[in-house]
A and B are shown apart, each in its own frame.
Chain A
Amino acid sequence: MAAIKIKSLLQRGWLTMLAACMLSVAVQAAVPTLSNAPVKKDAVLRGDATCTGCHDADDEFPVLAIGKTRHGVTADNRTPTCTSCHGESDTHINKPADAKERLKPDRTFGKKATTTADSQNSACLSCHQSGARMNWQGSQHQSADVPCAACHQVHTGKDKVRAKATQPETCFACHKEQRGQVNRASSHPILEGKVSCSSCHNPHGAVGPKQLVKNTLNETCYTCHTEKRGPFLWEHPPAREDCSNCHVPHGSIHTPLLKARAPWLCQECHLAQNHPSTAYSGTGIPPRGAAQQVLANGCLNCHSQVHGSNHPSGARKTR
């Protein structure tokens, strides 16, 4: 790596450098002078030599890894140049005489950048406004002035928000509540890297509630839980309307991802005569008792078809 080479050279000390400089003068007599040297080549993008002359791997803002990404494929004629995103940045390249320090490029990126989120994002949207990003304007992240670069890293071979295993780290930087929830006893395989936040949510804006990838919450759940789609002969109204009437998506202490525990969860809606309206308490739990509506699966010990039944005798969700 170039950075390592530079460090090792520096470690040789001032004496070596002094000798080197003297030698340099001698050597340069026999080779073209700096002013006659060939102009530095572009490293990746068309015209990037102006930038990569300073912003190499050892710089505070290393940029060369752009070549490892799709943004670095110059054979694709859509590929941008440095200035496509950062602007011409004349005052950055040529520091004005009266400026105390070098001015920043016309457009800088990131959460802490001085460029506004809208201006940052306009650079990205100039190419990425279609498809899954069509509803960016007006989305929750856009409204909250979240720049694309708050989540995406452009100058790196692996943008961690685009990998299932590492994406939650980025999302949890703001969504703290969900970070706690996914650590609960019952959760989707998010920490295991098999389901990512973007498996269900479209952070770039969506038509569905909570920026879900599908148009409705249930449609989103049905992408993996297709067996619950029906339609069924005997529908269970809260399940047909919205899975989140009974379930929570990110984590629960009530398996499987339930808002509350049966039988009380069921009794929030079912209060018919006899056992549906009975008061259940510790009297139904060993050693005091063993109520079939309380232990094991609770109400589901008998009424197991809570997502709907297609059995002609399943009106009570027992078939």
Chain B
Amino acid sequence: MTTKTMNRRKDIFSRKMVYLAVASALLPTAALAQEDAEAIRELTQAASEIEIGLGNVGRDSFAAGDYIGLKNKGPYVIGNIDLVGRDPKSADAWRITGSNLGLSSRNLRAEYGQQGNYRLSLEYDQLPKYRTESAKTIFNGAGTNNLTLPSNWVGATSTAGFTQLNNSLKSMDISHERKNYTLGFSKILSKEWDASVKFRHETKEGSKIVGAVIGNSGGNPRSVLIPEPIDYQTNEIEAKVGYATTKLQFQVGYSLSLFGNSNNSLIWRNPYTYTATPPTPSGWVAPAGFPNGQGQLGLPPDNQSHQLSASLGYNITNTTRFTGTLALGRMTQNQTFLPYTINPGLTVPTPLPRSSLDGKIDTTLINLALTARPMPKLNLRASYRYDDRDNKTPQAQYLFIGGDSINQVTTLASNRARTNLPLSYTQNLLKLDGDYQVAARTKLNVGYDYEEVKRSFSQADKTTEDTYRIGLRRSFSEMISGGVSYARSDRRNKGYADTPFNESYSAQYIATLPAGTRWDDHPLLRKFLYADRERDKFRFSLNASPHEMVALQFRADYNQDDYKNSILGLTKTRSESYTVDASVTPKQNLTLHAYYTSDNYKSNQAGRSFAPATRLALSTPLTSPNDWFNTSDDRIDTFGLGFKVKELMGGRFDLGGDYTYSYGLGKINTTVGSALAAAAPIPDLVSRFQSLQLYGTYKLQKNATLKLSLLHRKLRSDDWGWDSVNPNTMANVLSTGQLSPNYSDNVIGVSVSYKW
């Protein structure tokens, strides 16, 4: 115990003695008892609180209002409630809480129950997502599943020819909103048994931007960015029964999730014109073009997920515990297929092989773990995990039509004949860990993992990974503690081949390709999720309290993935994060804190540019003048500063403030080999976010508090992907003209909260 603490305790004890003496002398015994009882009641019983007020948003901005609902300029209602009722003599209780009640991010929850017996809860939650207000479209019917062109639209083979473009562009708000309704009931059945059931209904409504293309090969796509309607419903039920003693605990449960989409497709009229004369858009057939041509996108299909689970925990001895989990699940999807094409003018001689997918993935999860402390200083942990996703979706061959633009190619010797690949996955993971207290306040940890992953229809049927870990944690003293750890992983694939190509494309088509070119992606490419990889992870932390009023922290994280056998593809990534934190409490009622985090993520990748004519020649050399290299370098600096002062002005006034600054810089650079056209620099991606919040509370009277909040937020972003891109900047993609988010916004709020 520090000297200061001892003094404070002495002080408190002496105050109490004085209080007792004074109080017992001055106050009649009955009055004292009554006041005591009142004071005890206030200190021991939850109070209800209601906050109501008015806020004002300085300007309209989707980005500023994202998630929280402060989108529109003007006043809004501040409303927060926490109403409680509890009979101190029984365990009956109810509670109603609400937050952001005046905003579209509101939450309202009601709960009623008898503690130790049952509980019933009901919750409503709203979450807005505001994407952009600056997008434009030429289509009528935005927000629906059928987009039509203006009556005076004049088609063209590329965006440059759209003479009615400027006259036709209309603003559209791209946003969506989730509404969640949750009903829960739990019941204690006996001393050992309990059960619960939860039902959740969610709606998600609004729109998002989606790329919609008409075309069938890399040379003739004609795309438009269009609003995709979102009208989803999710219903979930989760039921559990549990048993618990100090020795044994288990739980069995069932969860059901049903997803429904009110729209199964999105249809749009093709604004691009067919012309029989090459070069653009060669390969189409006339009915695909303006004015009668249409495109149809499949929207997320209805699906279901079921899962039965059982988990068990058993304390074999006081120092040894076993836990096990078994979960059996099934995901299904069987929505009626859309036709190969929406355009009735296209010929489709070969019908669909099936009317729906009958998609089915059976999942099995087994997790077994044993923890033990065979000696006071030694802790051991072992676990085994089996994660199997058995995709039982039937396979069939589909003679697909490229982007609603051509007649169906019926010969199987075509790259339009494709078989679906139901991807299965099996993971076996063994983890072993041990901690040993090597000295006072010092723990050494060593660990080993072995992971094996098997996949079907994959470039790598099997990958294995060994991981070795070592770490040391030490509390040097009450004032200084820290830790350091290092992990090294080595992943290897057991052979890499273009299996998806061989399994999905028809044998007849593959036979048409010259020997040495029977592949899709370049044979030297190693997709990073299957590639050989050496991974290093390093962590360091240091906490110091040089003075009882000062706390300092330092964290360093360093991760590196080296795909050293990858000639093409991702070759290396590195992420670093360094943080310094400081908090100071110079006075009992004053706290200051500050932090700075520096993050950096770098990745290197290699590619090789090739065409049908160079396909064979460029397939084997380890280096080529057609090679290109790309580096991505994201740097993010985050700085925060804050303070809190309590009990100013005779204990009535509390004040606080927080400032956050986040600066993100994305540098991307491409360099090319001598055979390729010269590369040009890529502008930086920049985002600067600042937020300054000041808040104060003033106690008007015993139970009433005045609250004031000032919030200034500013975002400046530069994104070359959108900022200098007009709807017709790209020849073959009609874009939305939307801008990256930029705003500067002030929000002020005044409210009164009342407690009783």
Contact = CB atoms under 8 A, between A and B. Distances in A.
Contacts of A319: 296-298, 403-404
Contacts of B430: none
A298 B721 contact: yes
Contact of B610 (A253, A277, A288): A277
Interface in B684-705: 685, 687, 689
B6 A4 contact: no
Contacts of B45: 67-68
Interface in B631-687: 632, 634, 636, 638, 640, 651, 660, 662, 664-666, 668, 670, 672, 676-683, 685, 687
Nearest to A289: B680
Contacts of B664: 184-185, 253
B280 interface: no
A301 B555 CA distance: 40
Interface in A21-41: 21, 23-24, 27-28, 31
Interface residues of B, number: 201
Contacts of B521: 269-272, 276
Interface string A260-289: 110010011111111111111111011110
Given A10-B18, A177-B557, A282 B116 contact: no
26 contacts: A9-B23, A58-B12, A60-B9, A75-B88, A129-B249, A131-B249, A135-B313, A176-B597, A177-B577, A185-B689, A207-B311, A229-B331, A231-B391, A253-B666, A253-B685, A253-B687, A261-B685, A282-B682, A283-B677, A297-B225, A301-B213, A304-B211, A310-B335, A315-B400, A318-B402, A319-B298
Nearest to B27: A27
Contacts of A222: 257, 305
A2 B298 contact: no
Contacts, number: 479
A45 B657 CA distance: 38
B574 interface: no
Nearest to B579: A176
B422 interface: yes
Given A27-B24, A253-B664, A292-B731, A194 B44 contact: no
A277 to B, nearest CB: 5
B612 A230 contact: no
Given A237-B458, A253-B666, 16 more contacts: A9-B22, A10-B18, A20-B26, A75-B116, A138-B321, A180-B638, A185-B687, A235-B421, A235-B423, A269-B529, A271-B569, A283-B679, A302-B223, A312-B337, A312-B340, A316-B402
Nearest to A75: B91
Contact of B259 (A73, A157, A227, A300): A227
B468 interface: no
Contact of A312 (B9, B93, B400, B638): B400
B136 interface: no
B133 interface: no
B166 interface: no
Given A72-B44, A319-B297, A24 B21 contact: yes
Given A260-B603, A292-B731, A318-B213, A137 B321 contact: yes
B476 interface: no
B68 A60 contact: no
B242 to A, nearest CB: 6
Nearest to A236: B423
A312 B605 CA distance: 33
A291 B677 CA distance: 14
A94 interface: no
